[in-house]
A and B are shown apart, each in its own frame.
Chain A
Amino acid sequence: MIKTLWIVFAAFGGFTALAFSETSSAHAQGKELSRFIVEDRISGYVFLGEQVRALQDDDFQNPGMFAVDRGRALWNTVDGEAGKSCASCHGDAAETMAGVAARYPKFDANRGGIINLELRINEQRKTHMMAPPLEYESQDLLALTTYIANLSRGIPLGVNIEGEAAPFFEQGKKFFFKRRGQLDLACNQCHDDLDGMMLRGDKMSQGQINGFPFYRLIWNSVGSTHRMFQWCNTSMRAEPFTYGSEEYLNLELYVAWRGRGLLVESPAVRR
């Protein structure tokens, strides 16, 4: 019985492989992957199948662009007691926000720690708009973050890890190399050592965050880096940290530095 099953699987696998290669050849023509690779750092895009790449490449089809549209609308929406919108101070985001997302997360003196794009948006809402903070991972906050990140598309990641950010960077690095959970795995064991290998039906990526916030097909929605961190931690049967926690902020800084030079792809499409 087991033998028959294997034969069925093999036949099915062969068939799908054939079907994929036929559709992919047209798209692969003239397609340059080198811009997704910087030295030994490889964007998750490279590990995708041709169909998912095509979904990301076409702004019309890319489901993450819905979040961008929504973010653009929110950017110009007045909220809070101050009667301001983001645009009241920052003007046209296409000019003022280009390249900003590539420099986040960064050290923030007021917080005395690392701040990322999501928390920065909420901080600005509080101090300048006098508006209530948007819930982390809510559609509205994701939309704004995706919109701002999208305006940095094509700009290389370059976070600052010098000076006051250095100790937090070290903590993030420590997190990355620390074994955790019932499976006793550290991030690096898969994402540094085994990238490109198969993890069940999927290819192990390097865990780069240059496409975040991204549209994840198995979630059917846009997700932030911290949601992905939580998902990863849960998958290795470790207790996840909360959204916006210091641990994840430090980790985000380390992972962003780890992908230095990779071009921002937000909103990327991933499996």
Chain B
Amino acid sequence: MAAIRVAVPSTARKGEVIQIKTLVSHPMDNGFMLDFGGRFIPRWIINRFELEYNGEIVFSADWHLSISTNPYLIFYTVATETGQLDFKWYDDNGDIYTHTAKIIVT
């Protein structure tokens, strides 16, 4: 259900530090908010993010409460070899949202 937006440079030189931007649409309800009927909206967040670069985790983050709606993440990694980037977001409800990007390293 979550819409995903990812920006990865399509090509990079070997050893270059590349910037990766991700944005995922998610309500990130923290469990403390009330709805219009005065009932608590149950906690519903993405609790973990992972990036695998050719099968190896190069970046991961455990997310807790207070991460905003539609989490926006920028981070950096080193371009080592041509291959595939697998993004994974782990939802509280057990869903895993995935996105794949390719990068060519010269």
The yes or no verdict on A and B being binding partners is yes
Q: A: which residues have CB within 8 A of B?
A: 60-61, 63, 65-66, 69-70, 220
A220 and B3: CB pair below 8 A? no
B5 and A220: CB pair below 8 A? no
Nearest 10 A-B pairs (CB), nearest first? A66-B3, A66-B25, A220-B69, A63-B70, A61-B72, A60-B7, A60-B5, A60-B21, A69-B3, A61-B23
Residues of A close to B27: CB separation below 8 A: 220
- The minimal Cβ–Cβ distance linking A65 to chain B, given in whole angstroms, is 8
Tell me the complex Cα distance, A271–B98, Å: 31
Residues of A close to B70: CB separation below 8 A: 63, 66
Residues of B close to A220: CB separation below 8 A: 27, 69
Tell me the complex Cα distance, A70–B7, Å: 18
Tell me the complex Cα distance, A61–B5, Å: 9
Residues of B20-36 whose CB lies within 8 A of A: 21, 23, 25, 27
Residues of A close to B25: CB separation below 8 A: 63, 66
Tell me the complex Cα distance, A61–B3, Å: 13
A60 and B69: CB pair below 8 A? no
Closest to A63 in B: B70
Closest to B24 in A: A66
B3 and A70: CB pair below 8 A? yes
- The minimal Cβ–Cβ distance linking A72 to chain B, given in whole angstroms, is 12
A-B contact pairs, 18 of them (CB 8 A): A60-B5, A60-B7, A60-B21, A60-B23, A61-B23, A61-B72, A63-B25, A63-B69, A63-B70, A65-B5, A66-B3, A66-B5, A66-B25, A66-B70, A69-B3, A70-B3, A220-B27, A220-B69
Residues of B close to A69: CB separation below 8 A: 3
Scoring B residues 1 to 41 as 1 if CB is less than 8 Å from chain A, else 0, what string do you get?
00101010000000000000101010100000000000000
Tell me the complex Cα distance, A61–B70, Å: 9
Tell me the complex Cα distance, A60–B5, Å: 7
Scoring B residues 45 to 69 as 1 if CB is less than 8 Å from chain A, else 0, what string do you get?
0000000000000000000000001
- The minimal Cβ–Cβ distance linking A43 to chain B, given in whole angstroms, is 23
Residues of A close to B7: CB separation below 8 A: 60
Residues of A close to B3: CB separation below 8 A: 66, 69-70
9 additional contacts (CB under 8 A) given A63-B25, A220-B69: A60-B5, A61-B23, A61-B72, A63-B69, A63-B70, A66-B3, A66-B5, A69-B3, A220-B27
Closest to B6 in A: A60
Tell me the complex Cα distance, A65–B5, Å: 10
Residues of A close to B23: CB separation below 8 A: 60-61
Tell me the complex Cα distance, A241–B72, Å: 36
Tell me the complex Cα distance, A11–B43, Å: 34
Closest to A73 in B: B3
